[in-house]
Amino acid sequence: MTVLIDPPAWPAHGMLWSHLVSDASLDELHAFAAANGIQARAFDLDHYDVPDRRYDELVAAGATPVPGKELVRRLIASGLRVPERERRGRGGGR
């Protein structure tokens, strides 16, 4: 089981954001987030959005840095990826 983080590349709210995911379980992801002070409101169906200022800290805490395409590929392979149609249905679709 691995918690993965992509480079901060997603602009919103005047800063860049990374995605934090697990390649095995949402329980693992939520536990890592809680242990590192990431608020529950940062969770978006299958990942946490984290600001660029937290990237180095989360890598030091054990998140494995991967390119964005690899993060998505591994999230899909894990079976945890929420399809885009479900995102749109709940008002998401980032």
Of residues 85 and 12, the one with the higher pLDDT is 12
The pLDDT value given to residue 94: 45
4: its two tokens? 């993965």
Asked if 32 contacts 47 with a C-beta cutoff of 8 angstroms, the reply is: no
The secondary element (H helix, E strand) that includes residue 48 is: strand 48-51
Report the pLDDT averaged over residues 27-52: 97
The pLDDT value given to residue 19: 97
81 φψ region: left (φ > 0), alpha (ψ -120 to 50), beta (else):
beta
Report the pLDDT averaged over residues 36-60: 97
The secondary element (H helix, E strand) that includes residue 20 is: strand 15-22
